[in-house]
Structure 1
Amino acid sequence: MSQDELFTKQNILEAGKKEFLTKGFKSASLRKIVKEAGVTTGAFYGYYPNKEALFSDLVEEPAKTVMDKFMEAQIAFSELSAEKQCEQMGKMSGNAMKWMAEYIYDHFDAFKLIICCAEGTKYENYIHRMVEVEVKSTYQFISTLQSLGYSVRKIDKQLCHILASSLFSGFFEMVVHDMEKERAMKYLKDLEEFYITGWQGILGL
């Protein structure tokens, strides 16, 4: 790709980001994007087949990086011995979420698009995907506790889903409300403490 082509593509990306952040993906106008970028609609299609492809180019790498880190933490925890899982309850996921928060603040606009503007794209269920994984991991952890002889309360799946949803919705509130990073990191620490203590109470530990 020539320097002129790279320059044009960057203009399209910036114009798309501005339009998506303002109106969300569904209401974003391709006509306004190409006008803002200073290109024709035909020229736009030389770079992207549609506006969803443009949206994906803006968010795909950051979305994958954070999801991969989340999955890595889940897998690492599942591979610990039963005893180590009990020792590490909440700690590994807490460290992963701190890393994720740092990364999010380095790519804030991308996550603003993912969390607030993605309706109508494959990213609109981004948080839900994390919730489903978290619910599955929670039940695996409950089985681990039972294998160690703990008398653990039976947790209704709907309740488990609600709690996991509230955790991740709470985590991404920093993006929804444009929190300053320092405040968000303190908020995250309090959120982690709240959920660890809450789960210990619900499970009867």
Structure 2
Amino acid sequence: METLQSDSRTRMDSRSRILEAARDEFLRKGYRAASLRDIAQTAGVTTGSFYWHFKNKADLFEALTGPHVQAVMALYDQAELQFEQLTPPQQRHKMGEIGAACAEQMLHYMYQHLSAFKILFRAAAGTRYETFVHDLTQKEIVSTNRYLAQLQQEGQPVSELDPWFPHLVVSGMFTAMFEMIIHGLPEDRALACLRQLTAFYTAGWRNIMGL
């Protein structure tokens, strides 16, 4: 029994060392140039031990980042559902409030898992998550366009927009938000900047939406 527990602890320790070595390797070299041999060597494990834990480099990257991508997407989806469940007058009143709260939750989560998101934003080219920022942007664009159409149906004097405009605004917001992670702003400064950003974008959208 003690031998089985010891073996289990050893495997978990090896896995932790591999993940730690992989974080450094991906951040230094990016996904494509990262070497599994170098990761195993840095972690102090054999290649056989590596493949006990992970099928390949993609599986390793998934272990480091996948759960965090899903968590951020879930935060967004929860906020979107919360907004959709409101009555139209409540939506007009709480539009900026719900969006700002969601952005703050996402930012806080990212700072709690900073290394994972630095890898996502700087080293994901060649992985299934290289379009993470684009995918999140697209979700918000779809939601924004749907709400603009709803306002028009309700008779709101919505400004006529070029089809590209929502993309420019939404991508600008997310890019600004994620740049704070990439450039290593302390969380308190990032939060202060985010609140200014959301106030800025909310005021602009309210003007365009005639709210």
Could you list the structure 1 runs, at least 4 aligned residues long, displaced by more than 6 angstroms after superposition: none
Q: Which runs of 5+ in 1 are unaligned?
A: none
1:50 match: 56
So what's the TM-score if we normalise by structure 2? 0.92
2:63 and 2:18 mapped to 1: Cα distance?
A: 11
1:103 match: 109
Deviation by residue 1:91-111 (Cα, 9 ceiling, x = unmatched): 101101111111111111111
Q: Residue 156 of structure 2 contacts residue 210 of structure 2 at CA under 8 Å; is this kept in 1? A: no
Residue identity matched to 1:11? R
Deviation by residue 1:34-88 (Cα, 9 ceiling, x = unmatched): 1101112222111111111111101111211111001111121122111111011
SS at match of 1:2: helix
Q: Which runs of 5+ in 2 are unaligned?
A: 1-6
| CA drift at 1:174 | 1.4
Residue identity matched to 2:126? G
Aligned length: 205
2:153 and 2:204 mapped to 1: Cα distance?
A: 22
Residue identity matched to 1:188? L
Aligned-pair Cα RMSD in Å: 1.3
Identical counterparts, % of pairs: 37
1:164 and 1:79 mapped to 2: Cα distance?
A: 22
SS at match of 1:153: coil
2:4 match: none
1:7 match: 13
2:89 match: 83
1:157 to 156, 163, 176: 163
So what's the TM-score if we normalise by structure 1? 0.95
1:134 and 1:100 mapped to 2: Cα distance?
A: 14
1:173 to 179, 183, 193: 179
Matches within 5 A, 1:56-135: 56-135=62-141
